[in-house]
Chains A and B, each alone.
Chain A
Amino acid sequence: MSAMNVPMAQSRPEVPMVLAEQVSKSFGSNEVLKSISLEVKRGEVMCLVGPSGSGKSTFLRCINHLEVLSAGRLSVDGELIGYRESHGKLYEMAPKEAAKQRRDIGMVFQRFNLFPHMTALQNVMEAPIRVKGLPKAQVEQTARDLLARVGLAERADYYPAHLSGGQQQRVAIARALAMEPKLMLFDEPTSALDPELVGEVLDVMKGLAKSGMTMIVVTHEMGFAKEVADSLVFMDGGVVVEAGDPDEVLTNPQHRRTQAFLSKVL
């Protein structure tokens, strides 16, 4: 069966990186996402904004199957997430297959979620060694390079508790990058940071965007969205209210709800 579904060519520019078709998600009777349809192109940076409880984070978590969809289809790089399709039927994926899909999708959390019992370096090295089975020496070299890239070469042997929030979040970004993902998801990466530490994390993300990484960023940083994002999506109440060019949406919002939200945050 799986032979039918061998992923096709590695890079197909015509296939969008993320394609969401009428994605819905309910927790019990609470419908959090209502038929979301979105497309994120290769190399594109998309910012998801909206009031809390609007479903932004849930949508992000659906993309790497941390949440299971209630309805609709979601594919990353042309590959259906969480399900295998064969002869017109959907088969639920085994945890192993789902884990394999997640390898290629990096995720950065609001609360960093670094492993506190490991140093920064060990945090970055853990997944490539355990999941990909790469040799330790090679992984260590890459990990040190990545830490240098996020400006933390000297902090490699520090435990998370000895790092500032901004430093922890940068380690978390390096940890996600160590798996060489084709897509990066950021779930409010600066919301738990002290104001003076936000900039250092955003700078790393800007660099990442410049290098051509496809990114979906749930954020409240409108300045970042304006400067870096290729597209901006405003969500409210589980639906996409407005989407388009960030400059246009931010300066000239069409929808009343967008106007109301932006008037509060800008």
Chain B
Amino acid sequence: MSTTERTGASAGATPPAPEPASVPIKAIRLRHPWRMVFAVLIVVVFALLMIDAAFRPAYDWPSVGKYLFDRRISQAAVVTIALTVYSMVIAIVLGVILAVMRLSPNPVVKSVAWFYLWVFRGTPVYVQLTIWGLISLIYSRIDIGIPFTEPWLSFQTGDLLSLFTIAVIGLSLNEAAYMAEIVRAGLLAVDRGQEEAATALGMSWAQTMTRVILPQSMRVIIPPTGNEVISMLKTTSLVTAVPLSTELFTRSRDISAETFNPIPLLIVASLWYLLFTSILMVGQYFLEKRFARGVGDRQTEKKDPGTATGAFTGVMPVVGSDPPAVIVPPKNAPGGTR
């Protein structure tokens, strides 16, 4: 019966009758015995390590518990966070400026940015921080005014710059070089036609950058910037070179210098770093998800574009007519194709 119905429907002008529902596949699932073996093996090894660590006296868990919420440690954790936040904010702003400079048509501006990157990316951050720590030996006074005349303002460098400020300067100037490359990758990932369209409309280069190119490059810039924040959090432990001693790592070293028991304090510091990076990782996950909108899941997400995207009009690229398939490296640099 059903056969006659089907042929009739496909041959005649009447609307086709619905096909019978397809039969779900009933098959024995492929087994992965080795996965189980390795999983069990890993669990066993891990458990043994844990049990061993729990009873190993060198870890001194009671001390870990004692110092984990020590007032000095939590204060130091706040300093670490402050260093991270200040340095990153300055680095991002500087990085955007440097990246735009590197792509500028002006050869002077371009060279300055290139030189900056060469210096700050080419030397270790620890060395840079040490040099910044000696800044008041190199420049004992800062004068503001016209050269070879009486200065309008004069400061003792040591009075003007606290160790914390010097640490922020050192960290942010170094990080800016890396941020510049991230931002540049983002700018290059934007289709060249965008710049042409803006130019053809009579927009200036600055308008093209700020209104058209930068907003679209955010999608590419955000994920690696999240990585940089996490990296910065850990790099703050190097400011002992300045020497700033109030942040997490140096503070725990100082405490252990008194107690002659370094290992539990290193565990304490590590736990705090882990807590912060975990929080940052959660934040990065949501940020990435938000910025990936319009790229990965364009079809499924917004049913009504007008209302769904209204919330972040202007700042973030929500949809792309020609989105890059991958996030990080720009495949075709502008100017490379012609």
Contacts and interface: CB of A to CB of B under 8 A. Distances in A.
Interface of A: 27, 64, 66, 95-96, 99-100, 102-103, 105-107, 109, 111-119, 122, 126-127, 130-131, 157-162, 168, 172, 175-176, 179
Interface in B200-244: 200-205, 207, 211-212, 215-216
Contacts of A179: 201-202
B207 A117 contact: no
Nearest to A163: B321
A161 B294 contact: yes
B197 A109 contact: yes
A113 B316 contact: no
B193 A157 contact: no
B197 A159 contact: no
Contacts of B215: 117
A20 to B, nearest CB: 18
Nearest to A106: B200
Given A114-B197, A131-B207, A176-B200, 12 more contacts: A99-B203, A102-B202, A103-B202, A107-B200, A113-B191, A113-B194, A115-B216, A117-B316, A131-B201, A159-B305, A159-B309, A160-B319
A115 B201 CA distance: 12
A64 to B, nearest CB: 6
A116 B321 contact: yes
A18 B338 CA distance: 26
A130 B319 contact: no
Contacts of B320: 116-117, 161
A66 B200 contact: yes
B202 A112 contact: no
Contact of A64 (B200, B314, B317, B319): B200
A251 to B, nearest CB: 35
A198 B309 CA distance: 29
A183 B320 CA distance: 29
B316 A102 contact: no
Contacts of B313: 119, 122
Given A116-B321, A117-B317, A126-B211, A161 B201 contact: no
B305 A113 contact: no
Given A109-B196, A113-B193, A126-B211, A159 B319 contact: yes
Contacts of A176: 200-201
Nearest to B212: A115
A222 B191 CA distance: 30
Contact of A113 (B196, B203, B323): B196
B199 interface: yes
Given A27-B338, A126-B211, A158-B306, A114 B321 contact: yes
A117 B318 contact: yes
A127 B321 contact: no
B204 A96 contact: yes
A113 B197 contact: yes
Contacts of B289: none
A114 B191 CA distance: 11
Nearest to B201: A127
Nearest to B338: A27
B322 interface: yes
B64 to A, nearest CB: 49
